[in-house]
Structure 1
């Protein structure tokens, strides 16, 4: 029997067909026995409409867990939560080396420490041309500008050719903190020829060139200077350059700076530890800030996306660390609202408006720039790298499709490969060779639950339809005893002037009075009968079909 031929594969488990939860597998070797590496292990955030009560959404790594003996390592492109956030939660299941640049490695070690995991699992790697050997792969971190320091594309060398995995990036010649985009360095990386460019697609629909982070700072200074009362600003905690620009603007306006929110303090501490933020203005603690004159104070707070537990939301609902917004204060959103977060952000804005706080947004483009490459920037990178194939990632399906069309218009092959699509990249042209079932894992409190385990589904059903508990007793002759008890939650207390629970109890009394001993002796049949009875009353009286829990107590002669 002849040996199976070797092949190079690409398989997104998250991040392709969505924005967030990035996780990309590359493999090389005999078919079905490829040695594997994982690029990024990120999270997505839940919402109350579809995932109530869930803390964090993680990629489903079941496919990888079944092949752990073939997984060599995890490479993290940068420190954003949608690329790094899953490391602390899922490392115990993988137990593989994690490689990253120093700032990202610092954040990764903190996440492992929070979960009681071995921080030595993370290895710091210098910028390309320094490389790491991982099975048949040689991987280097190619510096790129983004909205967090020390972001990197990956130069992935394989026996089948070179791949450049862009990570998140923009073309910024003056990013304030971190490295500028270096076209000469990228051209050097592309010189041997690039088999495939796996590329960020977030801003493919934006047809104007991207703007530099350095263009934001000059607009912030007059805004803060002209404000009366306390000035509060929110942005992405990971955007260290923006934090610095905001703080510098506050100092220029004669204000003391206070950082509020754990994520913001963690990011500035990590950036300072790694020598990336040596000139950040001196800050005051929240305790000291409370005693300063309001007109001399600037708060920089977490919660730009409306997160309920973050500082912005808590300030909009009342006090936070003793601080309170008042009429005449100013609140700046120095950020873009991620699709899906509009309602939560609008709720905060309206809360502040009711307090008499002036809310400033980035609707006119003065106080925020994107960290992702726009369409003209993507065209520039395609030209520098000159890949045979472009595989769009980091985007919803419409972004992937548009990016593939852009590649085709520039004379290259473009391939749409959403989550679960396995591509073979070796050979003359990429082709789909398999489809893998992908999904989501929910961090629910301290437990990891599968997307289809039923936990969130049942929670949604109860939220939509309410919940009814029915308790009854069966004697030792399998006869139903009187006084069945009903308790309702999430349903109106009364219907047509009568208590809903009483109506259910009355209906069940009639139904159970006709039950024979054979049915009364069978828990499953009894539960089905009671559930149907409860739902009939609820449907007739209030138009709902609630979830029903039946508690049966059986008495014995002894």
Structure 2
């Protein structure tokens, strides 16, 4: 029996949608040589992560083994797969491999963070491969909602793994390569140990639709609209952006792209040759002089992002553009679970302006992920010994295991931190690794368990009280405590100002306190905090966060 093992370890993306990071290893237990597939981000929300800019996977386990990390492979250029490469390059240092379009996006990110673009290597499509320690990795073209998406063939002495990446079976994707059934079937010929597979749409039982089916309905909608026509989609969905722009042209409208991410994606697609014959566009300055009925805007912000063009237009104006009654706004996208509140807020803002909003209509959007029939077809093409679901919440992974077992294939449910030993004939859990999240908060990274965001939430929920106390050289109060409050009602049950009530109760506490309390900062702070919280509870029904500042004069 071999002393080496083949392992799979998700650090992100298994048990959630987003923040993808999957480790593969081969070697003696604990001494495996490693590769990382994808290194993405997920996005914060005001309820659970207020003020946070981005959420990254916790790579502490991988960083501790960075000398054994041979390479990073990026399947495609969506943020949840490539968004963290530049944030973590200084901590991992391994070369990054991607196909041309994805490499272009990755290099832009590296440049923004002051890293060398040379760390990103451009890979050719299968059958060419990249050697990384005991692994040989090939990029296999697959259809998705962004150009040059790839699944990976990962060969090692422990067997062949096929990592699907995000995919759908689309034979006419408009931009990017069509799904090649014969190519994918050929991958099964040497035998496949495991298919690690996208699970996002496992609950969608109907056949998936091609990107080519949305062009005519969008054209009809644009032609029927009277005022300015504005539409949003994922900036990375270059095929949809092209479809939208062509619909605008066919309707006789000038097309303007608004939003940095939108322009960056189109530029990258043109630079790398994956996007050809994109309709001519006008600048925002030129657009301001074009009659409304002759203008179409394609804007960022399909998920309600506060800083994106859609939200800015909903708030009044963006780049000189203002929406008015009679205009039309199309969401050519699906709202990702968790983003509903932001999208609904924008829809209501537009409604108040008299703008007609089209949202949630399947005629104008198709998913980039495989529905259940596509997943079933992929199982039958690859014929793996094992199916390992990834890219999905726990319910998606569990359902995908059931689908595999219905196809007489062994399935294993592995969530973030669960290391799976793929050696032998049956997968098994090798160990559990601590995983979590890292927050990009302004210009620094903080741990999810550091308490910073927790304190921020507590202050948002409960308000804040600051107590200032001065003690003289004899350890006696110099005057009474004074209080400042934030995020709390000015008056409570007694109808007196809250600050006055707090200061009176705190002064009484100071008057009763003995020498053991007055001479000990810890005891004095604890007592003042307890009194302030109880007093606020009695007055306004809130127990606020309290900061105590004790200043002592010295002789």
Give the TM-score band, short-chain normalised.
over 0.9
TM-fit CA distance, 1:292: 1.2
Match among 194, 212, 215 for residue 213 of structure 2: 215
Question: Partners of 1:287 and 1:456 in 2: how far apart?
Answer: 41
**Partner of residue 262, structure 1:** 260
Which secondary structure does the structure 1 equivalent of 2:363 belong to?
A: coil
- Asked whether the 8 Å contact 1:4–1:31 carries over to 2, the reply is no
**Partner of residue 164, structure 2:** 166
Question: Partners of 1:443 and 1:362 in 2: how far apart?
Answer: 31
TM-fit CA distance, 1:191: 1.0
**Partner of residue 183, structure 2:** 185
Match among 443, 446, 450 for residue 449 of structure 1: 446
Deviates more, 1:489-498 or 1:322-331: 489-498
- Asked whether the 8 Å contact 1:72–1:134 carries over to 2, the reply is yes
Match among 128, 141, 144 for residue 143 of structure 1: 141
Question: Partners of 1:294 and 1:27 in 2: how far apart?
Answer: 57
Which secondary structure does the structure 2 equivalent of 1:163 belong to?
A: strand
**Partner of residue 18, structure 2:** 20
Question: Partners of 1:5 and 1:475 in 2: how far apart?
Answer: 72
The answer to whether the aligner puts 1:369 opposite 2:363 as a matched pair is no
Question: Partners of 1:257 and 1:88 in 2: how far apart?
Answer: 33
Superposed CA offset, 1:315-357 (max 9, x none): 0111011101100000000000000111110110011011000
Superposed CA offset, 1:526-551 (max 9, x none): 11001001000111111111111111
TM-fit CA distance, 1:281: 0.7
TM-fit CA distance, 1:482: 1.6
Question: Partners of 2:522 and 2:288 in 1: how far apart?
Answer: 61
Name structure 1 gaps, 5 residues minimum.
none
Match among 391, 395, 413 for residue 392 of structure 2: 395
**Partner of residue 525, structure 1:** 523
**Partner of residue 535, structure 2:** 537
TM-fit CA distance, 1:517: 2.5
**Partner of residue 74, structure 1:** 72
Question: Partners of 2:20 and 2:41 in 1: how far apart?
Answer: 7
Which secondary structure does the structure 2 equivalent of 1:205 belong to?
A: coil
The answer to whether the aligner puts 1:247 opposite 2:245 as a matched pair is yes
Deviates more, 1:142-151 or 1:545-554: 545-554
Regions of 4+ moved over 2 Å: none
Question: Partners of 1:381 and 1:459 in 2: how far apart?
Answer: 45
Question: Partners of 2:100 and 2:141 in 1: how far apart?
Answer: 12
- Asked whether the 8 Å contact 1:4–1:30 carries over to 2, the reply is no
Question: Partners of 1:333 and 1:4 in 2: how far apart?
Answer: 54
**Partner of residue 133, structure 1:** 131
Match among 474, 488, 491 for residue 491 of structure 1: 488
TM-fit CA distance, 1:389: 0.3
The answer to whether the aligner puts 1:435 opposite 2:432 as a matched pair is yes
Question: Partners of 1:393 and 1:472 in 2: how far apart?
Answer: 56
- Within a 5 Å distance, the mapping from 1:505-524 to structure 2 comes to 505-524=503-522
CA RMSD of aligned residues (A): 0.9
Which secondary structure does the structure 2 equivalent of 1:531 belong to?
A: helix
**Partner of residue 61, structure 2:** 63
Provide TM-score, normalisation by structure 2: 0.99
Question: Partners of 1:297 and 1:105 in 2: how far apart?
Answer: 34
Question: Partners of 1:223 and 1:115 in 2: how far apart?
Answer: 41
Provide TM-score, normalisation by structure 1: 0.98
1:517 and 1:318, CA in 2 relative to 1: closer, same or farther beyond 3 A?
same
The answer to whether the aligner puts 1:476 opposite 2:483 as a matched pair is no
**Partner of residue 349, structure 1:** 347
- Asked whether the 8 Å contact 1:205–1:399 carries over to 2, the reply is yes
TM-fit CA distance, 1:362: 3.2
Superposed CA offset, 1:238-270 (max 9, x none): 000000000000011111110000000000000
TM-fit CA distance, 1:556: 1.1
Superposed CA offset, 1:75-114 (max 9, x none): 0000000000011111111111000000000000000001
Question: Partners of 1:138 and 1:277 in 2: how far apart?
Answer: 29
TM-fit CA distance, 1:4: 8.6
Number of residue equivalences:
554
Name structure 2 gaps, 5 residues minimum.
none
**Partner of residue 319, structure 2:** 321
Question: Partners of 1:278 and 1:384 in 2: how far apart?
Answer: 31
